[in-house]
Structure formats: structure tokens, C-alpha cells
Copies of this chain bind each other. A is one copy, B any other.
């Protein structure tokens, strides 16, 4: 795409008018990039065929800054929703895409985001089938917000529900935690670490599909610890199932530089947001096999079993520390890192 010939250098209110300027923006950038039979209907909506159970998930992305180490708001908006659909035990197929742009966003930045969306969608095998573009005045938004809503076919072998979780179940995490949150934090605080921390934003939908293919209903739950981090998700689960959860500090997959950055900023990595991390609560009988399968996959090569469901301390998450102590892990209460996704 030759951005010089677009005839505009920034998004302005006219691009949200519904008139010729909107059509121009769509034709020159959106339809050109996402070209597919569904989107090409160019109607207010798209028509797709589905048979059976569909998982539907929606998320608005308001992350600041919109460009960060390891990605930008575009791929985040795809991966985040793709993963939410995958967490339902489904195979993501389609996404809707809605922009709220602040007047003045540079067209080069917009195109870079759109391209990242396209690349991420291709990578996870989903199509952008319908969308919307709104523009707000300067100072009434913040560069760009993106909503994606995802649709996936529920895997025929999936039976994902907190109701299936029982005492003894193992809790497996697919990789290093707290990377996304710390990447954003270090951008914002302008921290310079010896080696740079990157967001872990990625899609995990092929790995979750593989797990369902192989272990079906032995997978009791998938959940991605985004906002609020591992602590908040585990606490929510403990409350939902009315059982306890034990985790082991020495098992937590945490990169040294992330641990160091957390220490500098006084943050507990258990509360820091992740994007490419998911946890998998499985029948103890298959836990080793699940772990082996996960470790063979690029998106799960650092998988580790961090704990288990226990009848002790119902509704509570307890962390066993490296030196033999125990502490209750409460859920996040207020805000730790605003606009992390």
C-alpha cells in the first residue's frame, strides 16, 4: 500500500461520517487488507454458516501505549479475543473488528495496526468478516481503541466448565508469566533493563485444540490470566468451585529480568497481566501426558505444573513459598496497571 497516494495523512472526523471519506478509507485500507468473501459483501453485517455450538467472546482494547515491545494494539486485539474463544474450548473462526479512532491518528500508524491485525488473524486462522469505524474529536479518545468479537466452533470433545474441576486436579501453565504487564510498565516508566522485556501476546488456539483432540473431557478448564494476573483468576476459580487451590512458588515460570523489573517497581508478578499465557486444569491421571504434549509445542515449551486443587482451605488460593512458608493469595482489588489491554 502506497501511503503517499492515499490523499490523507491522518484520520479525521470525515472518516467516521458514513459518507465518501469513510468508503474511501475502507476501500483503500480495510477491504484491501482483509479481502475475503464475507467482508466483501460490504453490507452492514456478514453472513456465515454455522452448525452446532458457537463460542462468542467480546473485548475492547484500550492499551496505552498502542505500540510496545513485542507488539501493538492490533495484534493484541486479535490474539486476545482468539484466546478467549479458545478458552471456551472452541476453534476460533471469525472476528468482527470495530475501531474508535481519535481524530489526528497518523495514517501510517493506523496502517501498521491494520497490518498487524491481518498478520495475527492469518496466524490464528480467523477471518475478519465485518467491522465499524468511528472517529471522535481530539481529546475525546486516546489514539485508537479496538473492539473485536470472536466466534468459534466448540470442539466436539470439549467439556470446559469449573463444574468439572475436582480435588486432585492439576494446574498447568503454558509459559512465563507477567511478561505482558511488565513490558507495558517498562515502556510507560521508561525503564531500561539490560535486556528488554517483550509482551507475550500470541495466539494459543492451535495448542488448546491439540489438547482437546487428545484429552477431551479430561481438560476441565482453560483460562487466560490477563487483567488481574494469575492471582485473580485462581482466586475466582477457587471461589467458583468452593475448593482450595495450592500453588508452589518454586514452580512459577518467571523470567529473571521480569522478576527483577517487578521487584524494582514493587509489583507482585502474580497480579501482573499476561496475554499469551493460559492455565489448564486437568484430571491428575492425564497431567503428565498433558504436560508432555504442551512442551512439544512452541506455545507451550515452558509449560509447568504449578499446583493442584485441594479440599484444604476452600475458596482460598495458598502459595507455598520456596523456604517452606505459606501465604494466602488474594485477588486483585482495585487497579494495578490501568489500560494494560
A-side residues, CB < 8 A to B, are: 12-14, 16-23, 42-62, 64, 84-85, 87-88, 90, 94, 96-100, 129-132, 134-137, 139-142, 145, 147, 149-151, 154, 223-224, 226-228, 232, 236, 240, 271, 273, 331-336, 338-339
Which one of B48, B88, B90, B332 contacts A56 once the chains associate, using CB atoms below 8 Å?
B48
Q: Give min CB distance, A62 to chain B, whole Å.
A: 5
Q: What residues of chain B lie closer than 8 Å to A19, measured between beta carbons?
A: 227-228, 232, 271, 331-336
Q: Is the CB of B335 within 8 A of A16?
A: yes
Bound complex: CA A132 to CA B98 (Å): 14
Bound complex: CA A108 to CA B49 (Å): 41
Query: Do A51 and B53 form a contact, CB below 8 Å, given A58-B131, A100-B62?
Result: no
Q: Give min CB distance, A113 to chain B, whole Å.
A: 16
Q: Is the CB of B47 within 8 A of A54?
A: yes
- What are 28 sample pairs from A and B whose C-beta atoms fall under 8 A apart? A12-B334, A16-B227, A16-B335, A16-B339, A17-B333, A17-B335, A18-B227, A20-B232, A43-B87, A44-B84, A44-B87, A45-B57, A46-B56, A47-B53, A47-B154, A48-B53, A49-B52, A50-B52, A56-B130, A56-B151, A58-B96, A58-B149, A60-B147, A61-B134, A64-B140, A134-B339, A145-B145, A149-B149
Query: Do A100 and B56 form a contact, CB below 8 Å, given A87-B43, A335-B13?
Result: no
Q: What residues of chain B lie closer than 8 Å to A130, measured between beta carbons?
A: 56-58
Indicate how many identical chains form the complex.
2
A-B contact sample (9 more), CB < 8 A, given A16-B339, A17-B335, A60-B100: A14-B334, A14-B335, A43-B88, A45-B150, A46-B56, A50-B51, A60-B132, A64-B140, A141-B141
Q: Is the CB of B23 within 8 A of A236?
A: yes
